[in-house]
Amino acid sequence: MEVGLNPYVSFCAAQANNTQTSNVQQPKTTNSKADSVEFSSKKETSEKKHPVRNFIANVAKFFATTTEMVKGTFKGVAYGLTTGVAILGGSWLFDALPKGFRKGGSLKEVCKNPIKSIGTKSKIIAGAAAVGVCAYNIIAAKLKANQKTANVDHQLKTGHRPA
């Protein structure tokens, strides 16, 4: 079935009061070969024309993606670990240490076992923040890798580097 504009429909406000909805004519449908549309893939033709260039482009895209993802993962782990340690250190300094001063003999315990003296809430917040920072860096690396593969595709298609 064809979908198109109906030339008999008017969008003028002055004519809307005079016309009836029953006056609208339906477009004629014809079952011919003109209704069927064939899509040809340009990717197939470009791969047949330059298989070596496409292979080199695929290898370049693989290495660009892998490099960016590895960089993003290591960066995310490093920044996430730093964030978690900073939150735990702050929690120990501003929460557990003052409690150790208030209690007579527990200051030694606070200094000997700092992880045990930090509250569960602070540990959960530190872990969630570390995971969030790591996930952010991995997602940013994936987007940067997509941009680099798009540059490789553009260079393959046009034959020059983007400006």
59 part of a folded domain? yes
Look up the domain containing 145 and give its range.
Answer: 51-154
Q: What pLDDT is stored for residue 98 in this prediction? A: 81
Q: Residue 94 above 60 pLDDT?
A: yes
Q: What pLDDT is stored for residue 72 in this prediction? A: 96
24 part of a folded domain? no
Q: Residue 19 above 60 pLDDT?
A: no
Residues contacting 79, CB < 8 A, separation 6+: 133, 134, 137
62 part of a folded domain? yes
How would residue 117 be classed by pLDDT, with cut points 50, 70 and 90? confident
Residues contacting 46, CB < 8 A, separation 6+: 54, 157
Question: pLDDT: is 44 or 96 the higher one?
Answer: 96
Q: Residue 43 above 90 pLDDT?
A: no
137 part of a folded domain? yes
135 part of a folded domain? yes
104 part of a folded domain? yes
Q: Residue 69 above 80 pLDDT?
A: yes
45 part of a folded domain? no
Question: pLDDT: is 46 or 103 the higher one?
Answer: 103
Provide the number of structural domains found in the chain: 1
Q: Residue 105 above 80 pLDDT?
A: no
98 part of a folded domain? yes
